[in-house]
Structures are given as structure tokens and as C-alpha cells.
Amino acid sequence: MTEAIGAEGLIKRFGKVAALDGLDLHVRTGEVHGFLGPNGAGKTTTIRILLGLMRSDGGRASLLGGDPWAQATALHRRLAYVPGDVTLWPTLTGGEVIDLLGRLRGGLDPRRRAELLERFELDPRKKGRTYSKGNRQKVALVAALASDVELLILDEPTSGLDPLMEAAFREIILQEKRRGDRTVLLSSHILAEVEALCDRLTIIREGRTVETGTLAELRHLTRTSIHAELSGPPDGLATMTGVHGFRAENGKVVFDVDADALEPALRTLVAVGVKSLVSQPPSLEELFLRQYQRGDGK
Amino acid sequence: MTGVVRLIRLILRRDRVLLPLWVVPLGLLPSAYTASFKGVFTTDQERIAYAQVSQHNAGFVGLYGILHGTSLAELVAWRSGFITVMIGLFALLTVVRHTRTDEEAGRTELIGSAVVSRHAQLAAALITTCGASLVLGLLTVAAMIGSGMPAGGSLAFGAEFTFSGWAFAAVAAVAAQLTSSARTARAIAVAVLGACYALRVGGDISATGDGTLSWLSWLSPIGWVTHIFPYWSNNWWPAVLAVLFSVATAAAGVALLGRRDLGAGLLPAGLGRPGAAAWLRSPLALAWRLHRGLLLGWTSGFALLGLVFGGVAGSVVDLVRANSGLADIFGRLGGTQSLLDSYFASVAGIVGLIAAAYAVQATLRMRDEEQTGRAEAVLSTAVGRYAWAASHLVFSLLGPAVALFAEGLVARLTYPSAGVGGVIGSAVVQLPAVWVEAAVAVLLFGLLPKWSAAAWGAPAISLLILMVGETAGLNHWLLDISPFTHVPHVVGGAVAATPLITLTVVAVVVGAAGLAGLRLRNIPD
């Protein structure tokens, strides 16, 4: 499998502040890759380096097999980018911006354009300055998705969309995924979106990559939380390896358990006798929070 | 008007550097004139001779206004005539900055949700700006009295400055209600200021000739305040006119504010094309879309200037014919033709400087595109940085050419007996100097993007040199800083090529350095 984006040890400093501090990112051709991180983690800076808008101070980056800084113009013919905060020219209509950006990238599919306008319920006749944030986002999304390109770079594309439009966006990305001829880099901090859409993901914090892999691989790192009502005292459970945050009260126990300690923990529960059991599946949310909280602890 | 006081404090806090930056220098500029006049004219006779020539020089009357007397105080007040325009400009920019700019950026919404009344923000902006104009006027009064000028005249002089600030603060209060974009609001207010200045120029120049169009000055707040004629007649009733105008216009602004929604303008934002025209497919086509309004506006303004300057050329000639002494001098220098040449050359100096302001404004559009993120959108497509910058530079370099040509052409059509070379030529030869100032803007944008706005310093310094210039007896190297000092005069249709080529080469080198910087830097930076 070839690589659409490969970044290794990226470093970027703004004055004394290191925005990127050895960041790695590998996106395979044809996959939808989630790029997760809290605000200020360096997602946008990474994307700007990949787009040749900024030059890294260290490390190596390749985009569609080329050098993103030196071959920027040629590479841009093959990709479309939706910035996190879309501003439009106040006097151009949404439709004009969509066509213009599409043509500047080297082609637009008119059928797809019409389809997307309808799907996003966007009026292309309005002037740029009269669109709301969400509608500006839609203009940029339609322009990118209708463009005839092999790579989509989307920087928090749903940040201004209402839940209905978020659902429309997910559906469209899933369509793209089924067609399978496009690579998508989706930066986000909405976990449900990433869980629903992405094959693999990379989590970054403070300019470094902290986790990367498939959803299943990362789930493995997460914990299941258990609420149970027992018939007897839960002997040894509190001290079992892989069990965290154990609390017992009036015959009820609440704890989190690592994926590899789940089986022995359940055996122990069954041996004591279970009256009721609620288990919450491992979510990225939890992994995410744990990654972030690690930073707060410093 | 709940919250007005707090909002005024907020404005003063935000503009604690900006306000003194225009209030203090403009308020004290007349003192600089006093000092420089004292230095240049060692005897009364010299000063009186200068005043008498200036009274009849259409270029001077156009730029500064009508001069009646010959005393030092009158000369200083007259020479300060253009400062009223600059005060008007800063006043309107300040009001728009604290009304429509905030509203467009969404800050008004934030403030409006706190305990402040609906009109509080406009009131705070107006009160602060009018207060700043008052301080400016008082500075002038104090400085003039301090240098021994008559108190009554100094008070009238201060009023001239203060009331021009008030009038255009009020104009901006209306402009800010008309459209939802701060840029358009600014453009409307600046256009009104420009029209007011043009009316005063036309009326005053006509008054030095046959006077048939002298009523034009009375249509303009700039005309009113300069017709106070401090130290000469200390005529207060045009000042009353200016105050009434300010109050009525500000009231209109408040009334309009009450009739619209937050974020909206009174001019409707209609629907447009559902898709782009076939030609809208290149960075150049996009630049045309973005610059065409600016080009049209400036070109019409320049054509208007041509109409004014061409229209009064006749009175200039008549005037000199009537004055046998002057006629003799010009006769020896080459007859009426040479007189017209020197008239159009001094007019072209002013016009060139205005064109430089256009060039800087158009160049800085790139910075605006960068800061709003629109440059990023274009540069992430298959458009390189050079192509993107070049498409904007086409308009910031050739736009002023079109505008200058329009001015010359209209002036020539209005006054057909002038030589084509003298009229159109003297306007167009300003172009290389205009390019140098545009190149300074490119340099800053490329190498020190955060300091891009400092590019306005280039035309500002040139204006200062034009206004203070030779009167102050400045060192020649100081005068030489302004590229306009080097623009050769067109004499009998001929012009020296070397300075034009030199200026163009300077512009190319400086601009290329800026573009090289742009190629290597972060976007956005």
C-alpha cells in the first residue's frame, strides 16, 4: 500500500514557541484518516506544512509522492483543502466561489456539484458576506468534494454545521469511502465523527504524535467501565491488575477495567454472584480524555 | 444611553496609541509651519511677496485654500488648509473602526448582549472622536497663542480643525449604517470627504479667477471650515454651519441605526449568480473581481479632479493676463504655454500623491486577503505565490496609471487650449514615483508582513514633504526621500527620461525583494 501523506519528525517553531515538536503522520492511499488533537495541538500547522504554505524547521514531509514546499503548485492540482475557518470574498456568491476554486484546482464535476448543493441545502446565489459560518463551511466543502482530486484535506470541516448537516457530511464521506478512489485526511476533535468515518487515526498533543493506528488497535488501549450489583463481597477485585478506580458500596461495585484484564475480572464477578450488570463499551472519548489529562498532570 | 461611559473608556483603552498618533502631530503641525516660515522669511518684504504670489497661484489655492492677508499668522492658517482634510479622514476612520468594523467582526454582538443600550456604541464612538477633535483644536489654539499669535484668530483656527473632525465623524456615523461591510462604509465616507475636498478646490480656484463657480466651496464642510479665515476675518458663521451639519448628520446616523438589524445594512444585499461566469477561472480574473470596484471608484474620482483642475485652468490664465507683473515674468519664461505647464505640473504633484495612496491601498489588499484566510484558500489550489501576487500587482501598478490618465484626459478635454503633453503628460509621468511607493508596500508585505500597514507611511511622508517642503527650507536630502521630488516637470511636451527610468528601476528592485520574501515566508504570518 502506498502512502499519500508521510511526515516524520516535523518541527515548526513560531518565535520561541514550538508548535510542532517531532510530529509523525502517515496516511495510506485510499483511506480516511482521522487527525485528532485538542485546540492548539498543531493540527492546522501540520496541514499548512503539508500544503506548502509554511516550511518546517525540521523533519521530513511528503505529499502524494512529492515535496510539499518545492512542488506545491503541481501537487495542489491533485488535492482539495477545506480550512477550519472559512472566509469568502464578500462580493462573490457561493456558487462563484465553488466554481472558481474548482477551476483553480483543475476541474469540477458539475453533476456532483448540483448533488452536493442539494444535499447540503445550500443557496449558491447568496453573497459571501451574507452566509453564516456553517454555510461558508458548506461552500468550501462543496467546492472540495466536487473537485476532481485524489486527496481531500479537511480541517475541522463540521465545526459550524448543525447536527442534520453533520449527518449529511458523514454520509457523503462514507460514499467517498465506498468509491475508494480518494484519500481523506480529516482533522477533528469530534470523536463520534472520527469513530464513524475513519479507518485509521493519529492523535497528537502539544505538537507530538501520541497514538496512531486503526480504531480497533486504539480501542484495545481503552477501558470498559463496569457497574455491578453483587450477592457477596468482591474479594480481590480491588487489587487485581488492570482494574482502576474501584469503588464498593451497599453491595454495588463500580470500576474501569483494561481490555486484557476484562476476562479475569468478569470471572471474579461471576464467582461472587452477579444480580445486575451494566457495562459501557470502550470509547475513544475516554482514551482521548486520558491522553489529554496526562498533559494537565505536568 | 446605558454603558456609554464604559464604552468610551474601552475605545480610549483600545486606541490609547492610535489617537495621540494623529491628534498630537496634526494639532502641532501649524507650530511647525510658524517656525519654518520664521526661518525662511527673514524680512517682512520677503514674506509679503511670497503671500502675494501664493494668493494668485491656482495650485496653492487648490491645495490649501484661499489666502487673503500677508501676516505670518494668516500664512500659517492658510498653509494648514489641507490639515482639515486629514483631520476629517482620521475622524471618519476612527468612527467606522468603532462601529461597523466591530459589528462586522461580531464584537458588537458581544457588547450588545451586555447591559448597554442600542445606541451606546455609536454614541461612544462619536463622543470619543469629537472629543479627540476638540483636544486637537485646543492644542492648536494653545500652540498658536503660545507663539504670540492673536487670541481671537487662534480660537477661530482651532475651531476650523475641531469642526472638520466633527463633520466627518458624523458623515462616518451615517456611512456605517448603510452597508454591512466596514470596508464599503469606509469607502463611502472617504468618497464623501474626497468630494467635499474637490468641491472646495473647484470653488476656491474659481474664486481666484472669474468666480463663476465659487459657490462650489459652499457645498462642502471643508469649504465652510476653511472659510472661517482665521486671523483675517475670523468669520464664525460658516463654523455655525459646520456644527449644524455635524449635529444633523449625526442625528441621521442615530435614526438610521434604529431602523436596521444588528449586522445588516440599509442598502440591500441582493442575490447574485448561482455559478461563476466562464471567464472567472484564473487568479487574474479573481483579482479583477476584487479590484474592479476600487479601480472604478478611484478612476471616477480622478476624472472629477481632472474636471476641476481643467475647469479652473482658464481662470489661472486670465488671472495672470490681468496682472501685468506676473504676465511679464511668465512671458519671459515662455508665454502662456509655460504658465499652463507649471500650473499642470503643480497640480500633477498633488494628483500623483493621491494615486500613490490608491497604489498602496490596492497593494495592501494582498495583506487583507492573507489575514482573512482567503489567500490560503487560493494558494492551496494550483496557483503559485508569484502568480497570486502578480495578479494583484497588475491592479496596484496599472490601476493608478488608468486613474492618472483619466485625470489628464478629462483636464485636457475640459481645457482644450492646453497642450496635450503638458496636461496628460504631467499626470502620467508621476507613475514611476507612484510605483516606488507601491513597491515599498510590496517590500513590507513580503519581508515584514506584520508591519504592512506601515506602507501608508510612504504617501504620508511624501504628503508631509509636499506640504512642509520648500517652505521649511528642509535639507535637500530630506526632500529627496520622497520619490515625487524626483519627478521631472513636463516642459513644452518634453520630459527628462533619466529620473523616470531611475525611479522605475528602484521600484522594480524594491518590489522584487518583497516578492522574494513572500516566496519564502509562512502564509499566514
Q: What is the pLDDT of residues B241-263, one digit of tens each?
A: 999 999 999 999 999 998 887 77
Note whether A105 contacts B283, CB cutoff 8 Å: no
pLDDT of A68 reads: 95
Note whether A73 contacts B384, CB cutoff 8 Å: yes
Element housing A20 (H / E): strand A17-28
Q: Over range B140-151, report the average pLDDT.
A: 94
- Residue B452, pLDDT above cutoff 90: yes
Least confident of A43-47, A250-254, A294-298, B164-168: A294-298
Note whether B280 contacts A88, CB cutoff 8 Å: no
Per the DSSP assignment, residues forming a β-bridge with A108 are A147
Residue type, A10: L
Interface test with A, best of B380, B383, B392, B521 (most A CBs within 10 A): B380
Where exactly are the structural domains of chain B?
1-264, 288-525
Where exactly are the structural domains of chain A?
3-218, 223-281
Confidence of residue B472 (pLDDT cuts 50, 70, 90): low
pLDDT of B321 reads: 65
Residue type, B450: K
pLDDT of A296 reads: 47
For residues A261 and B491, the model is more confident at A261
- Residue B155, pLDDT above cutoff 80: yes
Residue B276 in 3-state DSSP? coil
pLDDT of B434 reads: 97
Per-residue model confidence as pLDDT tens digits over A240-273:
888 888 888 888 888 888 878 888 888 888 888 8
CA distance B374 to B524: 10
Global pTM reads: 0.78
- Please, what is the angle between helix B44-56 and helix B72-79, to 10°? 40
Confidence of residue A291 (pLDDT cuts 50, 70, 90): low
Per-residue model confidence as pLDDT tens digits over A33-50:
999 988 888 999 999 999
Backbone angles phi, psi at A278, to 5 degrees: -125, 125
What's A3-218's CATH class? alpha beta
CA distance B128 to B91: 10
Burial of B244 (0-12, 13-18, 19+ CB in 10 A): exposed
A2 near B CB under 8 A: no
- Percent of chain B beyond pLDDT 90? 59
Chain B CB contacts of A142 below 8 Å: none
CA distance A284 to B131: 58
Query: Of A183-197, A259-273, B24-38, B121-135, which one has max mean pLDDT?
Result: B121-135
Per-residue model confidence as pLDDT tens digits over A77-105:
999 999 988 999 988 999 999 999 999 99
* Farthest CA pair distance, chain B: 73
B190: which 3 cell numbers?
472617504
CA distance B326 to B57: 11
A87 near B CB under 8 A: yes
* A223-281 CATH, one of 2.60.40, 1.10.3470, 1.10.10, 3.30.70: 3.30.70
Per-residue model confidence as pLDDT tens digits over A142-196:
999 999 899 999 999 988 899 999 999 999 999 989 988 899 999 987 777 888 8
Least confident of B196-200, B343-347, B352-356: B343-347
- Residue A297, pLDDT above cutoff 50: no
pLDDT of A236 reads: 81
pLDDT of B335 reads: 55
What is the ipTM, given to two decimal places?
0.85
Q: Over range B501-518, report the average pLDDT.
A: 97
- Residue A107, pLDDT above cutoff 70: yes
Q: Over range A10-39, report the average pLDDT.
A: 93
**Do strands A183-188 and A151-155 pair parallel, antiparallel, or not at all (unpaired)?**
parallel
Residue A258: alpha-carbon gap to chain centroid? 24
Chain B CB contacts of A74 below 8 Å: 382
Instruction: Name which of A72, A85, A123 is nearest B373 (Cβ-Cβ).
Output: A85
Per the DSSP assignment, residues forming a β-bridge with A248 are A253
pLDDT of A82 reads: 96
Binding-site residues on chain B for chain A (CB distance < 8 A): 180-181, 183, 269-277, 280-283, 286, 289-290, 293, 372-374, 376-384, 520, 522-524
Per-residue model confidence as pLDDT tens digits over B94-106:
999 999 988 887 7
Per-residue model confidence as pLDDT tens digits over B393-431:
999 999 999 999 999 999 988 888 777 777 888 899 999
pLDDT of A298 reads: 36
- Residue B474, pLDDT above cutoff 80: no
Chain A CB contacts of B286 below 8 Å: 89, 100
